[in-house]
């Protein structure tokens, strides 16, 4: 690492130089300067991409002084920093957020106009960094936005994947994945710092040796290493002058590694070695919910965590800092189990590199970590085979064994004679192979363990980690998720934002509970009219986008029914599909007439993990049903399905504000929280949902009358599971359900092929692990209630206004306040 290289005495040398002038002239000057000096073109010769890149640089220049000042101020204050460790950040486009945070949106628009450029044309140039799979990655992005906006010193640490989440296309209705080349046209928001790269080691063995004092010690003798190069991103707070940092690591081959092989004359092998190293940050694993036990994935996890700890200790702390006091200066939040290898890494650093004894090191380590769990599915809990861990990180495996030994002695002391319990709680599982249960390691090491919604936290205590919660009840807590209102209200719904500010004044964007002040206006016909007009305009905006983006034509005047989230059986896209097919079947068989249908367009957005067969088959089935339904004259254009490919943050920003109905229909007890559910409610959609995840809290806040609840609750699901669930009997007992499934089985949607969708249908009929058939009738009945309410547009709009007014709680600012109080025990820097 190279230290500061300057001993300058000039007064300007130690402080950031000023920003460009905050007015249209200053902006134009800076923009043209960037176009000339960075892109090397004149305005008249510049491409749209040149202009976009120059615009991004211009905005960065405005934020730069604040970024540098934030660093200086935070370091000088020596306060505690939040280190958010997350393998995923699903950031979405950066431009608009940076313009908003720096109060440049109007200035940029006017300045560009003077240059003959439409800002809207530059916005669409940006390819969003899709460095995450779904909710977990997007949550991390919302949290760092809120931390910056609340003036909390924090660093986000993660991986700069060269390829983010795949680009989804449909070929004959089937999902086909394309690589996400988000870096291809330039990455103007990042600041690479190759000079600050750190080494990350792997492999080899451990050995004992005697140190100078004759003390027996252990050291790790690794066999290979890679360089971790930091790429810094600005995380600007909203109009508050703070700009935090997101530090994403990119893997590079080390020189030494290359040279050795190169000198031996094997050029091809040297290049292979480089490729091998650089593979580590090459691609985001597109699996959500279930982990993939892949060596490269474990390499990714250790890679970013080791680089991050090294970076914080060596670079963020002042030289000579006494690491016994580390917990005063950092609290690392483990975003699920993916970064949990940080626990033995910190132990190794303290013991092997800094001479701590075990107990001292454990005391410090314990205080430095907290763990957030994001799931309830047993198969989603990561277990790393000890064979693999020991081969890749032999010292870490030793440390894990020792942590486990000490922990199990505590268990045996606390519950003498209960050997079964000790075995249940062991971090080492023995079947199907020996492996490390990363969630147990995280739970033992963390000061606090939290779930992401009230119900989830309760089930985490009672069902996933019951032994641990009896041992340490005070360790467990809840923080209900939230979403950033800057991106998901202000930027994605400017018309609603304007209406809100018009009605209750400014300030709500950083104090979202103030939306409550809208409540009385739900009874004001004039306000309702304006509110409904916003929704209508947002629908038109979506119609324009889908026409241009996907060639999809949305009909006018339909109830817009939206289900967007990763495709997973537990989320039950298949239940939504059964509802659609049921309506269609009733019309084509003459049981009802098309005129009985409420005109409705169902929008799906969902990516399936490339290796998840059932999910991909479900996508295929949705597309096949869509083709048939959309073309059916019998329906008289009253039922349509739109499934735009490649749902991502950018599409969400236009889709969510247009929605009337939000589908949150997971089997109760399966969705940890959901965050899409919050975004829809905040943008004036009504929810049809089960009693699951944060739906529980949404319903409590908006009121039963303004939320369409259906289906079994978690105790009922448990009871049915215990009693023995037989989906076949639901099919036999319900003629409409039978007709619906039979229509699919008849080959009606598959050009007469009676077996194309066997996997999906027979899974529902024979297994139906997520009990879609059991909830079918309740779902269909509740959809009828939705239609009833929708028929009364006054009542509907009233309910949607109350949803907006009552869901300010779901701001991620509130989530961050809860983490600060319950978990991190630190406060904003004022
Ligand atoms: O985290 C989601 C939950 O399903 C959702 O209910 C919750 O609101 C959200 C934020 O707390 N979980 C999620 O998105 N998980 C993943 O994306 C994921 C990614 C990778 C792996 C596991 C889960 N993995 O094993 O590698």
Secondary structure, 3-state, 728-764: HHHHHHCHHHHHHHHHHHCCCCCCCCCCCCHHHHHHH
Token pair for 510: 């950083």
Alpha-helical runs (H) found in 237-393:
255-263, 267-278, 295-311, 342-348, 358-368, 386-392
808 lines ligand 1 (CB under 6 A): no
pLDDT digits (tens, 9 = 90+) for 596-645: 999 999 999 999 999 999 999 999 999 999 999 999 999 999 999 999 99
Question: In whole angstroms, how far apart are CA 150 and each of 104, 201, 512, 814?
Answer: 20, 36, 13, 10
Give the distance (Å) from ligand 1 centre to CA of residue 569.
14
Give the distance (Å) from ligand 1 centre to CA of residue 676.
13
Decide if 388 contacts 434 (C-beta within 8 A). Answer: no
Counting beta carbons within 10 angstroms of the beta carbon of residue 29, is it exposed (0 to 12), middle (13 to 18) or buried (19 or more)?
middle
Give the distance (Å) from ligand 1 centre to CA of residue 138.
10
675 lines ligand 1 (CB under 6 A): yes
Give the distance (Å) from ligand 1 centre to CA of residue 619.
20
Distance CA 768, CA 618 (A): 14
pLDDT at residue 264, as a whole number: 77
Whether residue 285 lies inside any domain: the answer is yes
287 lines ligand 1 (CB under 6 A): yes
Atom 16 of ligand 1: nearest residue by CA position: 288
pLDDT at residue 236, as a whole number: 98
pLDDT digits (tens, 9 = 90+) for 671-722: 999 999 999 999 999 999 999 999 999 999 999 999 999 999 999 999 999 9
Number of the ligand 1 atom closest to the C-alpha atom of 456: 6
Decide if 442 contacts 371 (C-beta within 8 A). Answer: yes
Give me the mean pLDDT over the 792-808 stretch.
98
pLDDT of 18 > 90? The answer is no
Residue 582 and residue 469 share a domain: no
621 lines ligand 1 (CB under 6 A): no
Whether residue 11 lies inside any domain: the answer is no
Whether residue 4 lies inside any domain: the answer is no
Residue 774 and residue 787 share a domain: yes
pLDDT at residue 274, as a whole number: 85
Ligand 1 pocket test target in 138, 164, 287, 336 with most atoms within 8 Å of CB: 336
Distance CA 337, CA 88 (A): 12
Residue 262 pLDDT class (50, 70, 90 cuts) = low
Q: Spell 500-515 as b/e; 16+ CB within 10 A means b.
A: beebbeeebbbebebb
Give the distance (Å) from ligand 1 centre to CA of residue 282.
21
136 lines ligand 1 (CB under 6 A): yes
Element (H, E) at 821: none
pLDDT at residue 1, as a whole number: 43
pLDDT of 77 > 70? The answer is yes
Structural domain boundaries enclosing 271 = 78-93+128-480+818-824
Residue 276 and residue 347 share a domain: yes
pLDDT digits (tens, 9 = 90+) for 199-228: 999 999 999 999 999 999 999 999 999 999
The 3-state secondary structure of 274-291, one letter per residue: HHHHHHHHCECCCCCCCC
Whether residue 437 lies inside any domain: the answer is yes
The helix/strand/coil state of 663 is strand
Which neighbouring-strand residues pair with 437? 383
pLDDT digits (tens, 9 = 90+) for 354-381: 999 999 999 999 999 999 999 999 999 9
For residue 108, how many other CB atoms are within 10 A of its CB?
A: 25
Decide if 597 contacts 638 (C-beta within 8 A). Answer: yes
Token pair for 423: 């075995």
**Which of 749, 373, 356 shows the shortest CA–CA distance to 584?**
749
Atom 17 of ligand 1: nearest residue by CA position: 288
pLDDT at residue 15, as a whole number: 66
134 lines ligand 1 (CB under 6 A): yes
92 lines ligand 1 (CB under 6 A): no
The helix/strand/coil state of 433 is coil
Residue 686 and residue 556 share a domain: yes
646 lines ligand 1 (CB under 6 A): no
Can you give the CATH number for the domain in which 354 is found?
3.40.50.2000
291 lines ligand 1 (CB under 6 A): yes
Number of the ligand 1 atom closest to the C-alpha atom of 674: 8
Q: Spell 461-486 as b/e; 16+ CB within 10 A means b.
A: beebbebbbebeeebbbbbbbbbbbb
758 lines ligand 1 (CB under 6 A): no
For residue 557, how many other CB atoms are within 10 A of its CB?
A: 8
Residue 444 and residue 544 share a domain: no
139 lines ligand 1 (CB under 6 A): yes
pLDDT of 420 > 50? The answer is yes
pLDDT digits (tens, 9 = 90+) for 29-65: 999 999 999 999 999 999 999 999 999 999 999 999 9
Whether residue 7 lies inside any domain: the answer is no
Residue 662 and residue 635 share a domain: yes
pLDDT digits (tens, 9 = 90+) for 582-597: 999 999 999 999 999 9
Ligand 1 pocket test target in 143, 288, 340 with most atoms within 8 Å of CB: 288
Ligand 1 pocket test target in 84, 88, 89, 133 with most atoms within 8 Å of CB: 133
Give the distance (Å) from ligand 1 centre to CA of residue 375.
7
Counting beta carbons within 10 angstroms of the beta carbon of residue 737, is it exposed (0 to 12), middle (13 to 18) or buried (19 or more)?
buried
pLDDT of 261 > 70? The answer is no
Residue 717 and residue 574 share a domain: yes
pLDDT at residue 659, as a whole number: 99
Decide if 381 contacts 468 (C-beta within 8 A). Answer: no
Distance CA 38, CA 261 (A): 37
DSSP letter, residue 190 = E
Atom 21 of ligand 1: nearest residue by CA position: 288
Give me the mean pLDDT over the 233-247 stretch.
98
pLDDT digits (tens, 9 = 90+) for 526-552: 999 999 999 999 999 999 999 999 999
479 lines ligand 1 (CB under 6 A): no
pLDDT digits (tens, 9 = 90+) for 263-278: 777 888 878 888 899 9
Give the distance (Å) from ligand 1 centre to CA of residue 290.
9
693 lines ligand 1 (CB under 6 A): yes
Give me the mean pLDDT over the 247-266 stretch.
80
Number of the ligand 1 atom closest to the C-alpha atom of 290: 25
Give the distance (Å) from ligand 1 centre to CA of residue 293.
16
Atom 20 of ligand 1: nearest residue by CA position: 288
The helix/strand/coil state of 408 is helix
Whether residue 750 lies inside any domain: the answer is yes
Give the distance (Å) from ligand 1 centre to CA of residue 749.
32
Residue 14 pLDDT class (50, 70, 90 cuts) = low
Q: What percent of the chain has pLDDT over 70?
A: 98
799 lines ligand 1 (CB under 6 A): no
DSSP letter string, 8-47: --SGGGSSPPPPPPSSHHHHHHHHHHHHHHTS---GGG--
For residue 799, how many other CB atoms are within 10 A of its CB?
A: 21
Give the distance (Å) from ligand 1 centre to CA of residue 561.
24
Residue 423 and residue 293 share a domain: yes
Which of 44-58, 254-268, 748-762 is predicted least confidently?
254-268
Q: Please, how many CA atoms are within 13 Å of residue 810, restricted to the half-sphere of its CB? A: 33
293 lines ligand 1 (CB under 6 A): no
Give the distance (Å) from ligand 1 centre to CA of residue 374.
6
Whether residue 608 lies inside any domain: the answer is yes
Atom 12 of ligand 1: nearest residue by CA position: 136
pLDDT at residue 342, as a whole number: 99
**Which of 50, 105, 56, 104 shows the shortest CA–CA distance to 494?**
105
Q: pTM of the entire structure? A: 0.97
Residue 490 and residue 392 share a domain: no
pLDDT at residue 254, as a whole number: 87
Distance CA 493, CA 478 (A): 30
Residue 140 and residue 60 share a domain: no
Number of the ligand 1 atom closest to the C-alpha atom of 287: 20
The residue among 249 and 258 whose pLDDT is bigger is: 249
Ligand 1 pocket test target in 88, 90, 132, 135 with most atoms within 8 Å of CB: 135
Distance CA 631, CA 633 (A): 6
Atom 24 of ligand 1: nearest residue by CA position: 291
Give the distance (Å) from ligand 1 centre to CA of residue 135.
6
Distance CA 658, CA 672 (A): 25
812 lines ligand 1 (CB under 6 A): no
Domain count for the chain, please give it: 3
Token pair for 644: 């735009």
Residue 640 and residue 610 share a domain: yes
Give me the mean pLDDT over the 103-120 stretch.
98
673 lines ligand 1 (CB under 6 A): yes
**Which of 63, 239, 95 shows the shortest CA–CA distance to 653?**
95
pLDDT digits (tens, 9 = 90+) for 472-489: 999 999 999 999 999 999
pLDDT of 556 > 70? The answer is yes
Ligand 1 pocket test target in 89, 134, 669 with most atoms within 8 Å of CB: 134
Give me the mean pLDDT over the 761-784 stretch.
98
Whether residue 2 lies inside any domain: the answer is no
Number of the ligand 1 atom closest to the C-alpha atom of 693: 6
Average pLDDT of the residues of the chain = 96
Residue 830 pLDDT class (50, 70, 90 cuts) = low
669 lines ligand 1 (CB under 6 A): no
Active-site positions? 374, 565-566, 571, 675, 679
Q: At what angle do helices 735-745 and 573-588 cross, to 10 degrees?
A: 90
Decide if 340 contacts 362 (C-beta within 8 A). Answer: no
Residue 400 and residue 359 share a domain: yes
**Which of 387, 379, 291 shows the shortest CA–CA distance to 340?**
291
């Amino acid at each position: 690492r190279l230290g500061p290289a300057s001993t300058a005495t000039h007064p300007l040398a130690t402080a950031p130089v000023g920003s460009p002038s905050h007015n249209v002239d200053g902006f134009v000057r800076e923009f043209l300067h960037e176009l000339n000096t960075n892109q090397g073109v004149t305005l008249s010769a510049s491409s749209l991409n040149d202009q976009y890149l120059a615009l991004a640089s211009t905005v960065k220049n405005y934020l730069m002084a604040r970024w540098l000042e934030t660093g200086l101020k935070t370091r000088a204050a020596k306060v505690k920093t939040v280190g958010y460790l997350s393998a995923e950040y699903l950031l979405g486009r950066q431009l608009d957020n940076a313009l908003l945070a720096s109060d440049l949106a109007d200035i940029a628009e006017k300045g560009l106009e003077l240059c003959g450029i439409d800002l809207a044309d530059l916005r669409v140039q940006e390819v969003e960094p899709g460095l995450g799979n779904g909710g977990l990655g997007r949550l991390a992005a919302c949290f760092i936005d809120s931390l910056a906006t609340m003036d909390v010193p924090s660093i986000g640490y993660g991986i700069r994947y060269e390829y983010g989440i795949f680009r989804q296309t449909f070929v004959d209705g089937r999902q086909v994945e394309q690589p996400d080349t988000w870096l291809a046209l330039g990455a103007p928001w990042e600041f690479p710092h190759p000079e600050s790269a750190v080494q990350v080691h792997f492999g080899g063995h451990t050995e004992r040796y005697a140190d100078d004092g004759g003390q027996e010690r252990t050291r790790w003798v690794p066999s290979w290493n890679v360089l971790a190069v930091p790429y810094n991103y600005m995380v600007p707070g909203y109009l508050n002058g703070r700009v935090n940092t997101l530090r994403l690591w990119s893997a590079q081959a080390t020189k030494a590694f290359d040279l050795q092989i190169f000198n031996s004359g094997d050029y091809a092998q040297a290049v292979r070695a480089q490729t091998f190293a650089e593979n580590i940050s090459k691609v985001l694993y597109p699996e959500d919910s279930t982990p993939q036990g892949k060596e490269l994935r474990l390499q990714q996890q250790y890679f970013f965590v080791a680089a991050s700890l090294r970076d914080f200790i060596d670079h963020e702390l002042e030289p000579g800092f006494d690491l016994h006091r580390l917990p005063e200066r950092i609290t690392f939040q483990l975003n699920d189990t993916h970064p949990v290898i940080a626990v033995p890494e910190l132990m190794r650093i303290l013991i092997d590199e800094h001479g701590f004894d075990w107990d001292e090191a454990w005391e410090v380590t314990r205080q430095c970590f907290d763990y957030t769990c994001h799931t309830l599915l047993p198969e989603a809990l990561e277990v790393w085979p000890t064979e693999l861990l020991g081969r890749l990180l032999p010292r870490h495996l030793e440390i894990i064994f020792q942590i486990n030994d000490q922990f199990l002695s505590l268990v045996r002391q606390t519950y003498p004679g209960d050997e079964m319990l000790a075995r249940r709680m062991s971090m080492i599982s023995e079947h199907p192979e020996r492996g490390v249960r990363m969630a147990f390691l995280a739970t033992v090491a963390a000061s606090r363990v939290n779930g992401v919604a009230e119900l989830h936290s309760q089930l985490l205590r009672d069902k996933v980690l019951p032994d641990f919660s009896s041992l340490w009840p005070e360790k467990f807590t809840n923080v209900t998720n939230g979403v950033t209102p800057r991106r998901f209200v202000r930027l994605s719904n400017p018309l609603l934002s304007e209406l809100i500010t018009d009605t209750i004044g400014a300030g709500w964007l950083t104090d979202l509970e103030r939306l409550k002040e809208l409540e009385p206006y739900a009874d004001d016909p004039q306000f309702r009219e304006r509110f409904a007009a916003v929704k209508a305009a947002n629908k038109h905006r979506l119609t324009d986008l889908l026409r241009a983006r996907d060639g999809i034509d949305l009909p006018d005047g339909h109830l817009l029914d939206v289900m967007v989230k990763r495709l997973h059986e537990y989320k039950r896209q298949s239940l939504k599909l059964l509802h659609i097919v049921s309506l269609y079947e009733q019309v084509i068989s003459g049981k009802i007439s098309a005129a009985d249908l409420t005109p409705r367009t169902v929008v799906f957005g969902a990516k399936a993990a490339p290796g998840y067969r059932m999910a991909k088959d479900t996508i295929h089935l949705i597309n096949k049903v869509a083709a048939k339904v959309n073309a059916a004259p019998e329906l008289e254009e009253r039922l349509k399905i739109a499934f735009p490919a490649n749902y991502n943050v950018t599409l969400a920003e236009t889709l969510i504000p247009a929605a009337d109905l939000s589908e949150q229909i997971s089997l109760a007890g399966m969705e940890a929280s959901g965050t899409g559910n919050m975004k829809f409610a905040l943008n004036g959609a009504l929810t049809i949902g089960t009693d699951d995840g944060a739906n529980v809290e949404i319903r409590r806040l908006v009121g039963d009358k303004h939320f369409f609840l259906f289906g079994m609750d978690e105790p009922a699901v448990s009871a049915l599971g215990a009693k023995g669930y037989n989906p076949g009997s639901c099919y036999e007992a319900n003629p409409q359900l039978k007709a619906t499934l039979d229509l699919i089985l008849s080959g009606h949607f598959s050009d007469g092929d009676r077996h194309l969708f066997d996997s999906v249908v027979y899974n529902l009929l024979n297994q139906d692990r997520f009990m879609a058939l059991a909830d079918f009738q309740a779902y269909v009945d509740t959809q009828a209630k939705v239609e009833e309410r929708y028929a009364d547009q006054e009542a509907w709009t009233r309910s949607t206004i109350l949803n907006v007014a009552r869901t300010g709680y779901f701001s991620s600012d509130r989530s961050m306040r809860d983490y600060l109080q319950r978990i991190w025990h630190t406060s904003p820097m004022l």
